[in-house]
Amino acid sequence: MASSLLVKLTVLAAIIGVAYSVGIYEQCAGEGYPTLPCDAGLTCFRRNKWFSSCQHSCPLNLGWECETYITLAPTYAAGWSQCGGDGWAGPRVCPAGYVCYARSVYYSQCRPVGDCPSDWACAALFQTTPIPTTTVPVPVTLSAYSKCNNVGYAVCPLGTACFRNNHLYSECRPSCPPTWACETDVVGLNEQCGGEGYVGLTRCAAGLRCYARSVWYAHCAASCPAPDWLCWQK
């Protein structure tokens, strides 16, 4: 019994990297960082060459380079075909309704959900359904010191952010002028509050703190979002 469990755990460790995907606001690409798929419904959007994160849409007016965002288009294995195993270089994602079940460290197969033979390592299974694709319009880069509120699919140029003067007007600027309303504005839950090259608002709303995901990205949360965040640095 113990040896059977050990085999299943070994298989799980061998294929866990195949099905891993990243959650919302987590890093999915960047120079020196592996390119990872996002959870279903999310897209990997580019902030700069060092950092991209999984989000529902491109963050507007924050200087993100979303016109070059990363679109991951996995190749799906057919039902009942091989989807993994030591040395396997073919497609690893199963179609909807199928799961990539491991027979051993050397062979996994796309089979209907729940249809795993009793002598297979079924403890190590991952349901891999297609990731929906979303068409996002290419954002326009505004000029520095131009209006940025109520402008659809537009971003401020790098080195600037959209700062609020009053309830009617916001502008792309390198910093918030002392007399503007942005002096008292705060950053909401899961919104960016820091990172290398970031020039936007940094004060989180009441009950939130600015937690760092990496050197290039931090956002406001009630507590440290995950163990692998650099929360001790914030």
Q: What is the pLDDT along the chain (234 residues), one digit of tens a residue?
A: 444 544 454 444 444 444 456 788 888 877 767 677 777 777 778 787 778 888 887 776 666 776 444 444 456 777 787 777 777 777 777 777 778 887 777 778 888 877 777 767 764 444 444 444 444 455 678 889 998 887 766 778 888 888 999 988 989 999 999 999 999 888 888 777 887 778 888 889 899 999 887 777 788 889 888 877 777 644
Pick the closest to residue 140 from 155, 129, 160 (CA basis). Answer: 155
Rounded Cα distance, 173 and 156, in Å? 8
Specify the pLDDT at position 124. Answer: 42
Q: Give the chain's length.
A: 234
Specify the pLDDT at position 127. Answer: 46
Specify the pLDDT at position 179. Answer: 92
Specify the pLDDT at position 122. Answer: 64
Rounded Cα distance, 218 and 226, in Å? 12
Residue pair 84/108 in contact by the 8 Å Cβ criterion: yes
Q: What is the pTM of this model?
A: 0.43
| Helix (H) or strand (E) run with residue 224 in it | none
Residue pair 48/68 in contact by the 8 Å Cβ criterion: no
Specify the pLDDT at position 130. Answer: 47
Specify the pLDDT at position 43. Answer: 79
Residue pair 82/108 in contact by the 8 Å Cβ criterion: yes
